[in-house]
Amino acid sequence: MKYMTGNEIRKAYLQFFKSKEHLILHSFPLIPENDPSLLLIGAGMAPLKPYFTGKLVPPSYRVTTSQKCIRTDDIDNVGRTARHHTFFEMLGNFSFGNYFKKEAISWAWEFLTKVLELDTDKLYVTIYPDDKEAYDYWHNMIGLADERIFKFDDNFWEIGEGPCGPDSEIFYDLGPERGCGKPTCAVGCDCDRYLEIWNLVFTQYNRTKDGKYEPLAKKNIDTGCGLERLASVIQQKESNFETDLIFPIIEKVIAISGGDYSDPRQKMAMKVIADHIRAITFMISDGILPSNEGRGYVLRRILRRAVRFGRLLGIQDLFLAGLVDTVLDILGDEYPETREHEALIKQIINTEEKQFSATLAQGMELLNDMMAHVGDDKVLTGAEVFKLYDTYGFPMELTEEIAGEQGFKVDKDGFQAAMKEQQDRARAAHTKVSAKVATPDTTKLDQSKLVNDESAVKATIAMIGKDGVEISEARDGQEVTIILDDNPFHAEGGGQLSDTGVLCAAEGKAKVTDAQALPNGLVYLIAEITEGVLRTGDAVDIAVDKQRHLNLARNHTATHLLQAALRKVLGNHVNQAGSLVTPDHLRFDFTHFSPVTQAELDKIEALVNEEILKNVPVTIEEMALDAAKEKGAMALFGEKYGDVVRVVSVDDFSCELCGGSHVANTSVIGSFRITSETGTGSGVRRIEAVTGPAALKLAKDESQELQQLAGLLKAKVSDAPAKLEALLAQLKDTEKELAQLKKDAALSDMDSILAAKEDIGGVPVVAASAQADSMDNLRDLADTVLDKLGSGVVLLGMTHGDKVNFVCKVAKGDTKKGLHAGKIIKAAAQAAGGNGGGRPDMAQAGGKEPEKLAEALKAGVQAVSDILA
């Protein structure tokens, strides 16, 4: 067996199967395309499902890939075992109805024994018990003895709905020294001796949504060979993490942290970080952004887990983005898309790590307090866990992992209930009572005689409906639906509100309050009869509210300009995630990973206004969907389009598929002003803005407010900012003075605290109650007391409502005598109905019985005596 790097193994695999007439395909993105059954690509065959099922014609009937994959089912095992990963590369060779078991088995054996030169005596296989064909090929063609062929019921491969079938796994014997030592140890044992390196899936069936297995028209081959596992065998490493595909990242972590890889806890943390940064890098590279749902939640959970393990290694500064260079050094040439997005990857990581770091310490303090006050069942309530998630950004799984390390559990059902309750409140807060009403059956209408024409000013009523039933006439006071044979009203759609207006007939009038489109393309009006009577067949004069229509058009075109400006300023990862176009304002939701800075907002606003001032025509064309894509037209993600689409273009600045109302020229918009920028809490940002008359009104209102502010400051408008800045600086100084006074007050009883000093075994010990208004002040006070002592132990307690809190500090030199702040504070907290722990030199805890503060302090002193006894 010759040594090969991970990159050499990948290349050898792909080239071997190229020699077997396979087409090499580049890895597919981690986001599945048109496959709602999968959240992320987790296997080599996952993106090839349409070829296996026959829905698409493959580019070749023999294909080979090295597919990047993400799996998080066993994330808790990552770092604890030699093989578990969230990100890994799956080598695979595939046949779409071309070859089957004989070739798959023969070529796998040839690659392992001839190309990689693995020892044939160390290779074993497993098969499905009923797969006699696979047995014959392994036994008779390859020549494996029966004792090296194992039959297991679980040798049947499937992942969600789609292609599946019996499989055959190939194992490598790492030797008895890697085994459990049991006489029964063999392939299938849970120990590390026998390592699965390749799985050959003989795809004969398609699993449907309802769990049925249907024979495929053509038999296929799907194989998966883990590159990291294969590298560990070739490079003779004890784990995947020590191969050249991952260990350079661990070395970088060691350099940053100054950690010790030989320490089991530190080693596990380093392995977690090395694995997770690979997943993070590739997920962001493929367009996944941190959020609170779906793929974004998976990314956020992985990233925050890595940050937490960094803190366990003592890394306090931002560090994850600094590991990206090492990932790219190893894998950047094979996956050039990672290099293309390097700056974005680092920026997103830094932003997310910075946000989580800001709340991590507070969240950990709250979690420790929760565990200190938990009941005898040692279960954190769902409400508590949700608070950590909602307020401090702790994914539930992270809380569960941290709590589990100290013997606590979490109420998952309670967490989900709290999550649902918040979601229900959010939905209720945003629910709008719909003005839409039921329509009668329109299939009787001759649609060839019904048209939509924005220029129409006269029409005939084709149908009137009331509560879903066709009626022949409608009278004063009734709300009805009306369909015209020539309709100028633009229906609500694409985030744009509808036109409104008035219909006038010979004997009556109607106020049109809404217009909605039916699936068949017909537009129905929701109208209130304000005078007389309207009948089917009546001729009507139409007056669309022109000012409303113009303002809608202004705001809709401005929305297109806004999206183009966002992409130019923030990057091409920006995509529309929702919009609202009203006559008064516009709202645009878009994918982005951090708040937009004021400087960026100023630049975005300026770009839009530049296009408005250029007096550029707005071009509207209808064309084939393929032609629109070639033109570079942007489409709304997930939206379904017909063969012919409407393309709205503004010079070379903006080009989108859109069916909404637009101005003829950008100058009609007048001006554009951003009024707010916020986050929706799910990796999506929101900008609200105004145009035209509303923008002018905003400018006038702001000018008046500035004049009022200058009057209050008794300054000129031009001097107001400087004067306000001076007042704020003065206020800040006053707040500092107040904080110092509070700190001095906490230190004022220093003499009484020091008076409690006693000597235990030659160690000075102070255990006393303190007058502090926060844990920060209590910690500062403990530091000051310990500084005055010079050495020894300080245990301080304070009451706060119905709780009591403790801080314990032990001088570094005294920890060598066995004194441990965590053990001392635990004894004190338990005496006051709580629990806790911490480091040898510092710990904090809480209790539920403040009346037992004095008793708790005595218990802490007794703990010191017991340790020194």
Residues 196-213 pLDDT 10s? 999 999 988 888 888 898
**Coil, helix or strand for 598?**
helix
pLDDT of residue 682: 56
* Tokens, residue 772: 């502090």
Mean pLDDT of 95-104: 96
pLDDT of residue 423: 64
Q: Tell which wins on pLDDT, 789 or 837.
A: 789
The CA-based dihedral angle spanning residues 52, 57, 60, 63, taken in that order and rounded to the nearest 10 degrees: -30
Q: What DSSP element (H or E) covers 481?
A: strand 479-484
490 labelled ligand-binding: no
> For residues 856 and 869, what is the distance between their CA atoms, to the nearest angstrom?
20
> For residues 327 and 542, what is the distance between their CA atoms, to the nearest angstrom?
65
276 labelled ligand-binding: no
Average pLDDT over the chain, rounded to whole? 91
Give per-residue pLDDT as tens, 469-489. Answer: 999 999 999 999 999 999 999
Cα three-residue angle 448-454-459, rounded to 5 degrees = 60
CATH class of residue range 750-868: alpha beta
**Coil, helix or strand for 182?**
coil
Show me where the domains of the chain are located: 6-245, 249-359, 374-431, 447-536, 549-700, 750-868
pLDDT of residue 184: 92
Judge contact between 83 and 240, C-beta under 8 A: yes
What CATH architecture does domain 549-700 belong to?
A: 2-Layer Sandwich (3.30)
Most confident of the following: 351-355, 373-377, 736-740:
351-355
Domain 447-536: assigned CATH number: 2.40.30
* Tokens, residue 35: 């496959």
Q: Determine the residue type at 496.
A: Q
Q: Of 813, 819, 803, give the one whose Cα is nearest residue 868.
A: 819
> For residues 800 and 750, what is the distance between their CA atoms, to the nearest angstrom?
20
pLDDT of residue 789: 94
Taking 80 as the threshold, does the pLDDT of residue 437 lie above it?
A: no
CA atoms within 13 A on the CB side of 674: 25
Mean pLDDT of 451-462: 92
pLDDT of residue 431: 36
- Sequence-separated (6 or more) residues with CB below 8 Å from residue 329: 248
Taking 50 as the threshold, does the pLDDT of residue 98 lie above it?
A: yes
> In this structure, how many other beta carbons lie within 10 angstroms of the beta carbon of residue 595?
14
Judge contact between 168 and 126, C-beta under 8 A: yes
Give per-residue pLDDT as tens, 600-639. Answer: 999 999 999 999 999 999 999 999 988 887 888 887 754 5
* Tokens, residue 857: 């302090």
Judge contact between 169 and 151, C-beta under 8 A: no
560 labelled ligand-binding: yes
pLDDT of residue 241: 98
pLDDT of residue 683: 67
Taking 80 as the threshold, does the pLDDT of residue 826 lie above it?
A: yes
Q: What DSSP element (H or E) covers 859?
A: helix 853-868
Taking 50 as the threshold, does the pLDDT of residue 702 lie above it?
A: yes
pLDDT of residue 433: 32
- % of residues, the chain, pLDDT over 90: 66
Cα three-residue angle 356-361-366, rounded to 5 degrees = 110
Give per-residue pLDDT as tens, 563-579. Answer: 999 999 998 888 888 89
Taking 60 as the threshold, does the pLDDT of residue 434 lie above it?
A: no
Domain 6-245 belongs in CATH node 3.30.930.10: yes
**Coil, helix or strand for 241?**
helix
Same fold, 549-700 and 750-868: no
- % of residues, the chain, pLDDT over 70: 96
Judge contact between 675 and 659, C-beta under 8 A: no
